[in-house]
């Protein structure tokens, strides 16, 4: 085994040419999306009003194991990929742990996160279909930024509904999107009937992700030549994000490293699902064993405290129903919760893998998360996004356990992005004004009680 | 010749083990720093009150061609270096130019720029000398951020005097520094006698770089166990920044590419001086020819409209005198000028190379700069810093000239950093509220008239 460098970069020729669809290796498949009107599995025809045709077929394809990455997308990937798999030598030294810590860093692109991996794919298929543009929602702004970049590359119109509270608190994120030519509208807006209705019912509301989704879907279906695109949760998104896991696995294999533990933060599940895909595949095929840990915020604990059931994906209830671990579509995490990972549900694939026992889940409180973030920033030189820092927290804890047991585990975690646009949260942490918010059982029961009856 | 990848990364074993000191190859050396009191060259003993001992010896050493990079610094470099040399395939295609465009991207680290290359070196020598901490000034905030990161790594106290207007307009930059444990004071402050004097003379002043330098120097010399560090202009800084040029040259050589033209933005000269060092060395030794272009803002045109003379380095006149191209230490560029590149003078090394005719210089207006920045962001996927975008502007112009002449020149430019903390400037550009400011001859004559009499 050669000495392991600080950063493992694959050569261009070693980069994945196909995405990996973990559903192809699952004996028990994730439950299908349902038409909320009929209660029947949605058809490709129904979905094609909302999504691009090729993305619909990816969404519904639960048998193909590999899907070719078109050359145009691979060409864009080469602009910012391969992302490095970093050996955290400095962190190991700081912790004095015998564990070997690796992180796959997806933040070295202007969108600041892994979201670009799927944004460019979705924009490509929209362009290929001859569409004029796409609509979407964004919360913290990472997905909106990524999509703006992708659309600008393919010269597509990009309309982003940004949760109002973020629109106002994160003017710089908004400005990056504008620089890439996107139109950014605070949600709920007066431009859609759902937005007007929500504004009327809840005057002065600062919006939610579920509401912004509803607006974006309405905007897409009411304009000729537009489709809706989504940055997480969907199986197609996890498919595109498998590039993270494939590169990670190739980089580890290149140096003969066997991961013992794979840790990822989980909001909608796109990063986690992408990172773990090829590892979960080996487990599903009985070839290998890994300890996989999904980390979610204690303030939005869909895996650890939700129920596994069909639920609405959006507030306006215009999207298909998905079976997932959910807190109920009416659940909105506390406003003091920083960053993303605010979605009430979890991707069907991750939910099903969790239900089958292939994945463990844990939740962490945000002050502990920021403590880990700041420590990581100081020793590894990267200021992490609040989302990514959930994974850092658990990786640190696991590395410290190794220190006690003396085990030299190989711990791999996903560092999804940078926190340059999250300095308000860091400021609150530095000023000791940050607190934790954990929903009560009563609160959760209330929102879970409103699940649709299927 | 192998096919050239989108990004050329050196292997760890190919990274420079020594910095290159271009002064060692200059027959006519840059003029020495002078003691403003005596008018005589400053001695090591005099400088050592202000700077760390080893940095003083680097500052004064104009004969050694190579200086070893200590292992501790190389270890830190491995956290974020090598930086990629990117072949701008997408940009070439967009411009339909036969030119081959390469850029050395220094923005993939949390400080967001090349400044970290020297920050870590200066922090290391301070630590080695057993100091408690260092003081510095920062304008746009890149240098302050870089130094905060470096000091945090070596557990040194870091006191940053930040130009007041930036302190107020860039709270997020300030917050990154705090996250890395630095103390950030708006300048002019009431904490130094120079700050109090300037506040008294100019009530309500929003500060300047020259004034912040004076405060930081006073703070360093009035505290036991502290020294002052500077992020540009000095020869020691250019020495550390030679790592940029050495990596660039090694990456080009690896693929048998001969640069025709090397373009860098120039404020104090640290990025440009570092980028061009090994190329200028070959020219000085008569081994090769390159066209080297320094790009400065039309609003602060020290090379193109300044005079080559001894001048004060700071407003408070506490620093040694340096011979440089200067607009006079009283010159302050218009407040509407975005980003860095606001210093009234230019490093002695760059000034002397320019005077000897090895470097050309040109100035560009800021609306043209932002036009290039936005275009670059859209096709290359990196949102550039306003500073770096000066080089982009000229690289685009040169590539378009190649389109007319049909020449397939190899154009290399330095992309010093990212613009994530400069979104206010982008917003102004997007809202068509940005304008250019070019000082009149009369204004320049006025500040140049106040040069010290040597």
Question: Which of A202, A228, A254 is where one domain is finished?
Answer: A228
Task: Examine the domain organization and report whether A333 and A434 are in the same domain.
Answer: yes
Does residue A64 fall inside a structural domain? yes
Reported as a pLDDT band with limits 50, 70 and 90, residue A1 is very low
B178 to chain A: which residues are within 8 Å by CB?
Answer: 426-427, 430
Report how many domains make up chain A.
2
pLDDT score recorded for residue A454:
80
Task: Examine the domain organization and report whether B250 and B379 are in the same domain.
Answer: yes
Q: How far is A389 from chain B (nearest CA, A)?
A: 14
Whole-number Å distance between alpha carbons of B380 and B376:
6
Does residue A431 fall inside a structural domain? yes
Reported as a pLDDT band with limits 50, 70 and 90, residue A2 is low
Q: What is the DSSP string of B365-388?
A: -HHHHHHHHHHHHHHHS--B-HHH
Q: Which of A13, A76, A423 to mutate to test the interface with B (most CBs of B within 10 A)?
A: A423
Task: Examine the domain organization and report whether A273 and A408 are in the same domain.
Answer: yes
Residues belonging to chain B with any Cβ–Cβ distance to chain A shorter than 8 Å? 5-7, 9, 11-12, 76, 78-80, 90, 108-110, 112, 149, 152-153, 171-172, 175-176, 178-181, 374, 377-383, 418, 420-421, 423-424, 426-427, 430
Does residue B73 fall inside a structural domain? no
**Quick count: other Cβ atoms within 10 Å of Cβ B61?**
15
CB spacing of B377 vs A9 below 8 angstroms? no
Reported as a pLDDT band with limits 50, 70 and 90, residue B2 is low
A11 to chain B: which residues are within 8 Å by CB?
Answer: 5
Q: How far is B420 from chain A (nearest CA, A)?
A: 7
Whole-number Å distance between alpha carbons of A306 and A443:
12
pLDDT score recorded for residue A433:
92
Write the residue in B6, B9, B378 that is nearest to A78 by C-beta.
Answer: B6
Question: What is the mean pLDDT of the segment spanning B392-403?
Answer: 98
Task: Examine the domain organization and report whether A268 and A156 are in the same domain.
Answer: no
Question: What is the mean pLDDT of the segment spanning B411-423?
Answer: 95
A422 to chain B: which residues are within 8 Å by CB?
Answer: none
Question: What is the mean pLDDT of the segment spanning A140-151?
Answer: 95
Residue B139 has pLDDT above 60, yes or no: yes
Task: Examine the domain organization and report whether B192 and B223 are in the same domain.
Answer: yes
Whole-number Å distance between alpha carbons of A251 and A238:
20
Note the pLDDT tens digit of each residue in A77-103: 999 999 999 999 999 999 999 999 999
Q: How far is A314 from chain B (nearest CA, A)?
A: 31
Tell me the CA distances in angstroms from B219 to B34, B160, B222, B258, one per residue in order.
22, 10, 5, 47
CB spacing of B423 vs A171 below 8 angstroms? yes
pLDDT score recorded for residue A214:
93
The token duo for B151 is 């000091």
B280-287 own/partner pairs: CB under 8 Å, 24+ apart: B280/B22, B280/B25, B280/B353, B280/B358, B280/B359, B281/B20, B281/B22, B281/B25, B281/B65, B283/B358, B284/B22, B284/B25, B284/B26, B284/B27, B284/B358, B285/B25
Question: What is the mean pLDDT of the segment spanning B93-114?
Answer: 96
pLDDT score recorded for residue B42:
96
B9 to chain A: which residues are within 8 Å by CB?
Answer: 9
CB spacing of A427 vs B149 below 8 angstroms? no
What percentage of chain A's residues is helix, strand, coil (to nearest 5)? 45, 20, 40
B418 to chain A: which residues are within 8 Å by CB?
Answer: 110
A426 to chain B: which residues are within 8 Å by CB?
Answer: 175-176, 178-179
Question: Which of B228, B249, B284 is where one domain is finished?
Answer: B228
Reported as a pLDDT band with limits 50, 70 and 90, residue B196 is very high
pLDDT score recorded for residue B296:
96
A80 to chain B: which residues are within 8 Å by CB?
Answer: 381
Q: Apex CA A332: angle with CA A329 and CA A337, to 5°?
A: 145
Write the residue in A5, A377, A421 that is nearest to B12 by C-beta.
Answer: A5
Q: How far is B205 from chain A (nearest CA, A)?
A: 26
Name which of A73-77, A294-298, B165-169, B348-352 the model is least confident about. Answer: B165-169
Question: Which of A228, A252, A283 is where one domain is finished?
Answer: A228
What percentage of residues in chain B have a pLDDT greater than 90? 89
Q: Which of A90, A108, A415 to mutate to test the interface with B (most CBs of B within 10 A)?
A: A108
Task: Examine the domain organization and report whether A179 and A325 are in the same domain.
Answer: no
Task: Examine the domain organization and report whether A142 and A174 are in the same domain.
Answer: yes
Write the residue in A90, A153, A176 that is nearest to B383 by C-beta.
Answer: A176
Q: Which of A4, A72, A79 to mutate to test the interface with B (most CBs of B within 10 A)?
A: A79
Q: Which residue does chain B place closest to A373, by CA atoms?
A: B179
A176 to chain B: which residues are within 8 Å by CB?
Answer: 383, 420, 423, 426
pLDDT score recorded for residue B334:
83
pLDDT score recorded for residue A315:
81
A377 to chain B: which residues are within 8 Å by CB?
Answer: 110, 179-180
CB spacing of B175 vs A430 below 8 angstroms? yes
Q: Which of A120, A420, A429 to mutate to test the interface with B (most CBs of B within 10 A)?
A: A420
Write the residue in B11, B380, B430 that is nearest to A179 by C-beta.
Answer: B430
Task: Examine the domain organization and report whether B214 and B273 are in the same domain.
Answer: no
Whole-number Å distance between alpha carbons of A368 and A314:
30
Write the residue in B5, B12, B383 that is nearest to A12 by C-beta.
Answer: B5
Intra-chain end-to-end CA distance of chain A, in Å:
54
Note the pLDDT tens digit of each residue in A217-267: 999 999 999 999 999 999 999 999 999 999 999 999 999 999 999 999 999
| CA B111 from centroid of its chain's CA atoms | 13
The token duo for A289 is 């064993």
Chain A to chain B Cβ contacts (< 8 Å): 111
Q: How far is A327 from chain B (nearest CA, A)?
A: 34
The CATH number of the domain holding residue B142 is: 3.40.50.1100
Does residue A73 fall inside a structural domain? no
- What is the phi/psi pair of residue B159, to 5°? -115, 120
Which residues contact residue B273 at a Cβ distance below 8 angstroms, ignoring those fewer than 6 apart? B22, B237, B238, B241, B242, B347, B349, B350
Task: Examine the domain organization and report whether A246 and A369 are in the same domain.
Answer: yes
What percentage of residues in chain A have a pLDDT greater than 90? 89
B382 to chain A: which residues are within 8 Å by CB?
Answer: 109-110
Task: Examine the domain organization and report whether B63 and B101 are in the same domain.
Answer: no
Write the residue in A79, A172, A382 that is nearest to B381 by C-beta.
Answer: A79
A179 to chain B: which residues are within 8 Å by CB?
Answer: 374, 377, 383, 426, 430
Write the residue in B76, B110, B171 that is nearest to A377 by C-beta.
Answer: B110
Q: How high does pLDDT run on average in chain B?
A: 95
Note the pLDDT tens digit of each residue in B431-453: 999 989 899 999 999 999 999 98
CB spacing of A108 vs B108 below 8 angstroms? yes
Write the residue in B76, B180, B426 that is nearest to A378 by C-beta.
Answer: B180
Does residue B58 fall inside a structural domain? yes
Reported as a pLDDT band with limits 50, 70 and 90, residue B1 is very low
Does residue A149 fall inside a structural domain? yes
Note the pLDDT tens digit of each residue in A19-71: 999 999 999 999 999 999 999 999 999 999 999 999 999 999 999 999 999 99
Q: Which of A120, A381, A388 to mutate to test the interface with B (most CBs of B within 10 A)?
A: A381
Whole-number Å distance between alpha carbons of B34 and B312:
10
CB spacing of B109 vs A380 below 8 angstroms? no
Does residue A77 fall inside a structural domain? no
The token duo for A248 is 């990670």
Q: State which residues form the domain around B368.
A: 7-14+82-112+235-448
State the pairing for strand pair A183-187/A157-163: parallel
Does residue B51 fall inside a structural domain? yes
Task: Examine the domain organization and report whether A134 and A42 are in the same domain.
Answer: yes
Contact (CB, 8 A) for B187 and B137 = yes
Q: Which residue does chain A place closest to B74, by CA atoms?
A: A6
Task: Examine the domain organization and report whether B214 and B181 are in the same domain.
Answer: yes
Residue B81 has pLDDT above 80, yes or no: yes
Question: What is the mean pLDDT of the segment spanning B320-330?
Answer: 95
Closest among B361, B376, B212 to B300, alpha carbons compared: B361
pLDDT score recorded for residue A404:
98
């Amino acid at each position: 085994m050669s000495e392991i460098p600080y950063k493992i970069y694959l050569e261009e020729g070693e980069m994945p040419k196909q995405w990996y669809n973990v559903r192809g290796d699952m004996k028990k498949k994730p439950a299908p999306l349902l038409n909320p009107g009929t209660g029947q599995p949605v058809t490709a025809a129904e979905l094609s009003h909302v999504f691009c045709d090729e993305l619909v077929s990816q969404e519904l394809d639960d048998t193909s194991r590999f899907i070719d990455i078109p050359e145009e997308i691979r060409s864009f990937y080469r602009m910012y990929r391969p992302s490095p798999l970093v050996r955290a030598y400095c962190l190991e030294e700081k912790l004095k742990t015998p564990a070997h810590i690796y992180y796959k860093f997806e933040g070295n692109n202007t969108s600041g996160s892994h979201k670009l991996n799927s944004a460019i794919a979705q924009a490509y298929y929209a362009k290929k279909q001859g569409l004029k543009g796409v609509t979407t929602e964004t919360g913290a702004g990472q997905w909106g930024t990524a999509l703006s970049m992708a659309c600008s590359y393919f010269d597509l119109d990009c309309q982003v509904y940004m949760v109002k509270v973020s629109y106002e608190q994160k003017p710089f994120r908004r400005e990056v999107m504008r620089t890439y030519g996107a139109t950014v509208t605070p949600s709920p807006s007066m431009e859609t009937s759902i937005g007007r209705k929500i504004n009327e019912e809840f005057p002065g509301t600062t919006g939610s992700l579920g509401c912004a989704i509803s607006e974006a879907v309405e905007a897409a279906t009411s304009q000729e030549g537009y489709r809706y695109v989504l940055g997480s949760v969907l199986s197609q998104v996890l498919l595109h994000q498998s590039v993270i896991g494939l590169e990670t696995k190739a980089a580890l294999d290149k140096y003969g490293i066997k991961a013992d533990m794979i840790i990822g933060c989980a909001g909608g599940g796109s990063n986690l699902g992408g990172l773990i895909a090829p590892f979960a595949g080996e487990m599903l095929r009985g070839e290998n064993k890994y300890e996989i840990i999904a980390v979610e915020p204690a303030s939005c604990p869909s895996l650890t405290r939700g129920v596994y059931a069909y639920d609405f994906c959006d507030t306006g209830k215009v999207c298909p129903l998905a079976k997932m671990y959910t807190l109920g579509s009416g659940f909105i995490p506390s406003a003091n919760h920083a960053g993303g990972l605010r979605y009430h549900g979890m991707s069907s694939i991750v939910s099903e893998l969790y239900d089958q026992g292939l994945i463990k889940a844990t939740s962490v409180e945000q002050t502990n998360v920021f403590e880990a973030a700041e420590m990581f920033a100081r020793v590894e030189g990267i200021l992490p996004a609040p989302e990514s820092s959930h994974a850092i927290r658990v990786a640190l804890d696991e590395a410290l356990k190794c220190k006690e047991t003396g085990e030299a585990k190989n711990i791999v975690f996903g560092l999804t992005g940078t926190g340059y646009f999250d300095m308000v949260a860091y400021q609150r942490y530095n000023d000791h004004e940050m607190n934790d918010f954990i929903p009560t059982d009563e609160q959760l029961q209330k929102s879970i009680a409103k699940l649709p009856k299927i």
